């Protein structure tokens, strides 16, 4: 079975040395008393829970999968999942960053972010059950009535009830304006909802007493398209006025999807047959509330791939140190063995360092985004709230798409390190490849994220938010521009920032003439943007490491950070040059291809 060591030291480095998150918290009355010791102690216990309780169920859960009884519509999760979830609830983990008004502990979101990274690393399929609840909770917290909040949030906060989001239908995925599910108003103020939803993660299971589905559907008099979509709470069991569970609602699982990966998560086809629902927010404004959940889910999916990148790296590194194969090209390294460990070979090191660089760069971005989300909601200064929200909006598609692309690259490379042993189930590495693949697809495919970034977040406001991120880079360049030791990190991001501005202007101009030009460039453009963001964080991480080394700190952690930064800028960052060339190649070579695609 694969092993895992919680990356607490690197989490602490990013939180406390790179971003100094407690300084930000001091400006927010909600978190003014939160200190480093509290955060570190909670995360140490979180790491123990992930490794001791959740990790042992990953391989067995993948092999066993979930089972549906077609007669009763009951879904049984793999052995041990229900018991692990009971321990999760008993430990108070679902309530970690939830609102104290509804029984939450009120800890900063960054703590929950790091908890979820460790949980997804050790068992992505299991973590999706409580993970989706956070998104449903956030949507209801933002848009629910006081009565709805009182009826549902306490039980969701405690983990007694879980949540889902029911969007996709057999004929429509991303284009939710095509959905057909109907909601008919009743005299008592409720609605009867009928329709079919597919690909609903954790849509039915035996781990919690109730499942709170957030369902998109159309009112009978709704206008066509996305402007006619409303959001409804549809519980598995109706909830009585006193909070107790009532009758079984008209919603059930009719099928479990047979998937490539995440076998232990119940991905359901859901049938609604006159199910009782209550409206969330305003009629025909369902997407406003659902986007709260979807944007949180997009950050969460990026985090899933971050976790898989980390655990794949750890196990590939251990294997590379142990597996002997051939001799080093530069001469024998292990003279007491018949062959050298494969870690001596340059390309093996490249695959390992790629995974490490993407894990540590992704962790910096994930923690940065979690602090932005905290500021957006809780900072007392309105301008800080607004600026943080704008920056988070820009970075959300990067977090989702760049981290999941990188997770797939890293997991595949780590499987390659194992050679033939990686392709068989016994080592466990192939599961990470299978599990990582879905992250590029759900919660809006990475192409959708790319269109969102380039079309809405950048061209939509003439690059104003991108310029704000550029000012962060500019400040670092100004601070370190004359420092020769920082030149190998500063010069590349300064150069790319300038090239990115020119590329954006060029694509924007072409897009005004032909919108397909934006679609043709978007995926490559997002990856360039991802490297610009990672490059900035890696330069800052190198800055901290260099300062510690110069001050006489002999902790090898800082030398390792510096070496990984050098690898990133030398071997991974340069792909931006080819990506900018392909982004400029235009739409004609894609769209003028009727004969090729006949």
The string of pLDDT tens digits covering residues 373-382 is 999 999 999 9
The per-type count for the chain, helices as H runs and strands as E runs, is: 18, 11
Instruction: Determine the Cα–Cα distance for residues 239 and 364; give it in Å rounded to an integer.
Output: 41
What residue ranges do the domains of the chain occupy?
Answer: 8-68+75-143, 163-284, 445-590
How much is the pLDDT for 597? 97
Contact 265, 78 (CB under 8 A): no
> Measured between alpha carbons, how far is residue 134 from residues 127, 293, 413, 457, 571 in Å?
11, 8, 32, 25, 37
Treating both helix axes as pointing N-terminal to C-terminal, what angle do 109-143 and 346-378 enclose, rounded to 10 degrees?
Answer: 50
DSSP annotation of 260 reads S
The number of CA neighbours under 13 Å toward the Cβ of 386 is 3
347 and 287 Cβ atoms separated by less than 8 Å: no
Q: Are 89 and 83 in contact (CB under 8 A)?
A: no
Distance CA 113, CA 133 (A): 14
Q: How far is the C-alpha of 133 from the C-alpha of 571, rounded, in Å?
A: 39
What is the spatial distance between Cα 220 and Cα 205, in angstroms, rounded to a whole number? 31
In this prediction, residue 455 carries a pLDDT of: 97
Rounded CA-CA distance 469/463 in Å is 10
The length of the chain, given as a count of residues: 598
DSSP string, 396-418: HHHHHHHHHHHHHHHHHHHHHHT
Residues of the chain with pLDDT under 70: none
CATH of 163-284, one of 3.50.50.60, 3.40.50.1950, 3.40.50.720, 2.40.110.20: 2.40.110.20
pTM for this predicted structure: 0.98
> What is d(CA 507, CA 513) in angstroms, rounded to the nearest whole number?
10
Query: Is the Cβ–Cβ distance between 236 and 163 less than 8 Å?
Result: no
DSSP string, 44-102: HHHHHHIIIIIGGGHHHHHHH--EEETTTTEEEPPTTHHHHHHHHHHTTGGGTTS-GGG
Helices 516-550/346-378 angle, 10° precision: 100
Question: What pLDDT, on a 0 to 100 scale, did the predictor assign at position 433?
Answer: 98
Our measurement of the distance from residue 293's CA atom to the centroid of its chain's CA atoms, rounded to an integer in Å, reads 12
Query: In this predicted structure, what is the pLDDT of residue 173?
Result: 79
> CA-CA distance, 269 to 255, in Å (whole number)?
5
CB environment 546-577: b (16+ within 10 A), e (fewer): bebbeeeeeeeebeebbebbbbbbeebbeebe
d(CA 231, CA 286): 4
Answer for the pair 394, 449: CB distance below 8 angstroms, yes or no: no
Q: Using the 8-state DSSP alphabet, how is residue 594 labeled? A: T
Element (H, E) at 492: helix 487-513
Under 8 Å CB-to-CB from 287, ≥6 apart: which residues? 176, 216, 226, 229, 231
In this prediction, residue 340 carries a pLDDT of: 96
Measured CA to CA, the distance from residue 253 to residue 67 in angstroms comes to 11
Cα-based angle 185, 188, 191 (whole degrees, multiple of 5): 30
| CATH H-level, domain 8-68+75-143: superfamily | Acyl-CoA dehydrogenase/oxidase, N-terminal domain (1.10.540.10)
- 191-201/67-69 β-pairing: unpaired
With CA atoms as reference, report the closest residue to 298 among 371, 437, 395, 400.
400
DSSP 123-187: HHHHHHHHHHHHHHHHHHHHH--HHHHHHHHHHHHHTSEEEEEE--BTTBSS-GGG---EEEE-T
DSSP single-letter state for residue 571 = I
Question: How far is residue 37's CA from residue 232's CA, in Å, rounded to a whole number?
Answer: 41
CB within 8 A of 475, min separation 6: which ones? none
The active-site residue, picked from 374, 376, 390, 443, is: 443
CA distance linking residue 450 with residue 444, whole number of Å: 10
pLDDT at 294: 83
Run of H or E residues at 61: helix 58-64
For residue 213, what are the β-bridge partners? 164, 234
- Is 443 assigned a catalytic role? yes
């Amino acid at each position: 079975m694969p092993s895992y060591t919680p990356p607490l030291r690197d989490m602490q480095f990013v939180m406390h040395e790179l971003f100094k998150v407690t300084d930000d918290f001091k400006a927010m009355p909600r978190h003014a008393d939160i200190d480093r010791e509290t955060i570190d102690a909670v995360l140490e216990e979180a790491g123990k829970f992930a490794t001791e309780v959740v990790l042992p169920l990953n391989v067995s859960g993948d092999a066993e999968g979930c089972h549906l009884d077609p007669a009763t519509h009951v879904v049984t999760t793999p052995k041990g999942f229900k018991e692990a979830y009971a321990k999760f609830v008993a430990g108070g983990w679902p309530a970690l960053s939830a609102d104290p008004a509804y029984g939450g502990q009120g800890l900063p979101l960054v703590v929950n972010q790091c908890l979820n990274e460790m949980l997804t690393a050790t068992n992505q399929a299991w973590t999706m059950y409580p993970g989706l609840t956070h998104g449903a909770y956030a949507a209801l917290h933002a848009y629910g009535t006081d009565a709805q909040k009182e009826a549902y949030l306490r039980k969701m906060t405690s983990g007694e009830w879980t949540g889902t989001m029911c969007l996709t239908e057999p004929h429509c995925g991303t284009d939710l304006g095509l959905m057909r599910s109907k909601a008919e108003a009743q005299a008592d103020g409720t609605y009867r909802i009928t329709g079919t939803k597919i690909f609903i993660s954790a849509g039915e299971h035996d781990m919690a007493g109730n499942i709170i589905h957030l369902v998109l559907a159309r009112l009978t008099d709704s206008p066509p398209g996305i402007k006619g979509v409303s959001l409804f709470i549809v519980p598995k069991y109706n909830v009585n006025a006193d909070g107790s569970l009532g009758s079984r609602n008209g919603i059930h699982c009719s099928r479990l999807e047979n998937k490539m990966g995440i076998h232990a998560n119940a991905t359901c086809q859901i049938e609604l047959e006159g199910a009782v629902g209550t409206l969330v927010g305003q009629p025909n404004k369902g997407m406003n509330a659902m986007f709260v959940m979807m944007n949180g889910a997009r950050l969460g999916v990026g985090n899933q791939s971050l976790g898989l990148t980390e655990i794949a790296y750890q196990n590939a590194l251990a294997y590379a140190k142990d597996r002997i194969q051939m001799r080093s090209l530069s001469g024998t390294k292990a003279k007491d063995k018949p062959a050298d460990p494969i870690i001596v070979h340059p390309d093996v090191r490249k695959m390992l360092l790629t995974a490490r660089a993407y894990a540590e760069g992704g962790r910096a971005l994930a923690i940065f985004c979690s602090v932005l989300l905290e500021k957006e909601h809780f900072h007392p200064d309105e301008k800080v709230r607004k600026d943080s929200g704008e920056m988070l909006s820009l970075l959300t598609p990067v977090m989702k798409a760049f981290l999941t692309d990188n997770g797939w690259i890293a997991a595949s490379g780590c499987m390659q390190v194992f050679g033939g042993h990686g392709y068989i189930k016994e080592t466990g590495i192939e599961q990470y490849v299978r599990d990582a693949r879905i992250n590029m697809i759900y919660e809006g495919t990475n192409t959708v994220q790319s269109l969102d970034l380039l079309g809405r977040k950048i061209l939509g406001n003439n690059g104003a938010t991108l310029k704000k991120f550029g000012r962060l880079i500019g400040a670092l360049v100004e601070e370190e521009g004359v420092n020769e030791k920082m030149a190998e990190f500063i010069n590349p991001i300064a150069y790319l920032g300038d090239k990115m501005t020119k590329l954006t202007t060029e694509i924007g101009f072409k897009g005004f003439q032909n919108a397909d030009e934006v679609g043709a460039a978007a995926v490559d453009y997002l990856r360039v943007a991802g490297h610009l963001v990672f490059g900035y964080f890696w330069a800052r991480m190198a800055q901290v490491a260099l300062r510690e080394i110069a001050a006489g700190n002999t902790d090898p952690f800082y030398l390792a950070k510096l070496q990984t930064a050098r690898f990133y800028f030398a071997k991974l960052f340069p792909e931006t040059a080819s990506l900018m060339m392909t982004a400029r190649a235009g739409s004609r070579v894609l769209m003028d291809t009727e004969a090729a695609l006949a």
